[in-house]
Amino acid sequence: MILWRLTKVALKWWVVTFVIGDDWRVAARIAVALLATWGLVEAGVAAWWLLPVAVLYATVRSLHRSVVQER
Amino acid sequence: MNVSVFVSTFLAASIEVIEMVAIIVAVGVTRQWRGALAGTFAGLVVLAILIAALGAALQSVPLTLLRLVVGALLLVFGLQWLRKGVLRVSRDGWATGIGEQQVEEDVGDGFDWTGFILAFRGVSLEGLEVAVIVVAFGAAAHAIASAAVAAAASVLLIGSLGLASYRLVARIPRRALQLFVGALLTTFGTFWAGEGLRVDWPGNDLSLLWLGAGYVATALVLVRVVSDWRGSARRPTPQPAAAGVSR
């Protein structure tokens, strides 16, 4: 029981620290981009550009949201 | 000693070792050396156990899947740092001073588990790739010893360079360092996740250079853009009455 609780606490900390952070939308957008890249690669399309573009889009959207929230 | 196996293993392993050392130095300088070095040690222990247990069967380890998982996690985490770095530099500027404390807010005085896990992941993934290179190059030419010595030489040489450079890196203001380390982690994360999805990067491993340069340039532009957003937010909006008077 204690081990299960400890595992849950550790897992929650890990997900919040490494995946969610301050803005869960960034992780969600990157997940969508990874799926889309996988789809393009499977279809035989050159997809190297997609991840960098998704990184730029996710960062700009998240930064804009942060600045709007500061107001 | 098989010279051709030594040279080819040394060069191939060096690329992986540079990535490993870059992550350890970046995490150590920006967060906490204790956590980063403990993560490095733990990664090396796991690696040694894997090498001892699997031996030549290392070549069957699903590196593609590992790259995808570690790369995706590093990408998402690197973006958090990049985002925080851009927000802080655009608010407080590049130099040390106001806001300096906030960069360290999530480290505290205790053991830094975040730094531990970052270093552990970097060392175990890159170390595993080095081990696979040693087995692949060494087994093909029946010269495992030459390949192993080459990999060890690569770790010693690049590790020493990393040790020598960390004081230089530590002089960079923390806030700026967070932004650059964020760009570095995002670069490795993008590259590894792409490799895991079998993306053909233009220039193969050299794409790390253009990806890194692109992310740093983008971050510098975003610092200006976010400053402008903040500036326009602070500017008072014209009142309808005042507008009427000016007419």
Tens digit of pLDDT for each residue in B167-181?
A: 777 777 777 878 888
| Contact assessment for residue B201 and residue B195, using Cβ atoms and an 8 Å cutoff | yes
Q: Which residues of B touch A65 (CB under 8 A)?
A: none
First to last CA, chain A: 45
Calculate the CA dihedral of residues B203, B205, B209, B210 and round it to 10 degrees.
Answer: 40
Q: How far is B55 from chain A (nearest CA, A)?
A: 31
What is the spatial distance between Cα B193 and Cα A36, in angstroms, rounded to a whole number? 13
Check CB contact under 8 Å for B117 and A14.
Answer: yes
In terms of Cα–Cα distance, which of B166, B202, B163, B208 is closest to B71? B208
Chains A and B form CB pairs within 8 A to the count of: 92
Q: How far is B110 from chain A (nearest CA, A)?
A: 16
Highest mean pLDDT pick, B1-5, B186-190, B241-245? B186-190
Instruction: Using a CB–CB cutoff of 8 Å, tell me whether A30 touches chain B.
Output: yes
Compute the mean pLDDT over every residue in chain B, rounded to the nearest whole number.
82
Sign of CA dihedral B41, B44, B46, B52: negative
From the CB of residue A33, how many other CB atoms can be counted at a distance below 10 Å? 23
* Confidence check on the interface: ipTM exceeds 0.85, yes or no: yes
What is the spatial distance between Cα B192 and Cα B124, in angstroms, rounded to a whole number? 14
| Tens digit of each residue's pLDDT (9 = 90 or more) over A8-36 | 887 887 788 778 888 899 999 999 999 99
Query: What helix, strand, coil percent values describe chain A, rounded to 5?
Result: 85, 0, 15
What is the spatial distance between Cα A66 and Cα B227, in angstroms, rounded to a whole number? 12
Residue B239's pLDDT band, with cuts at 50, 70 and 90, is low
Among A48-57, B35-44, B98-107, B207-216, the range scoring the smallest mean pLDDT is: B98-107
Claim: this prediction has a pTM higher than 0.80: no
Instruction: Using a CB–CB cutoff of 8 Å, tell me whether B52 touches chain A.
Output: no
| Tens digit of each residue's pLDDT (9 = 90 or more) over B74-124 | 899 889 889 988 998 898 887 654 444 444 455 667 888 888 988 998 888
In terms of phi and psi (left: phi > 0; alpha: psi -120 to 50; beta: otherwise), the region of B61 is beta
User: Which candidate in B74, B76, B102, B224 is best for mutational testing of the A interface (most A CBs within 10 A)?
Assistant: B76
Check CB contact under 8 Å for A27 and B211.
Answer: no
Percent of chain B with pLDDT over 90: 22
Sign of CA dihedral B6, B205, B163, B42: negative
What is the spatial distance between Cα B143 and Cα B149, in angstroms, rounded to a whole number? 10
Instruction: Using a CB–CB cutoff of 8 Å, tell me whether B117 touches chain A.
Output: yes
| Tens digit of each residue's pLDDT (9 = 90 or more) over B30-75 | 888 899 999 999 988 888 888 878 776 776 777 788 889 888 988 9
Residue B147 is predicted with a pLDDT of 85
Instruction: Using a CB–CB cutoff of 8 Å, tell me whether A18 touches chain B.
Output: yes
Task: Please state the separation of Cα B50 from the chain's center in Å.
Answer: 23
Which residue has 């080459």 as its token pair? B150
From the CB of residue B109, how many other CB atoms can be counted at a distance below 10 Å? 6
Q: Helix and strand tally (H, E) in chain B?
A: 9, 0
Between A12 and A52, the higher pLDDT residue: A52
Residue A29 is predicted with a pLDDT of 96
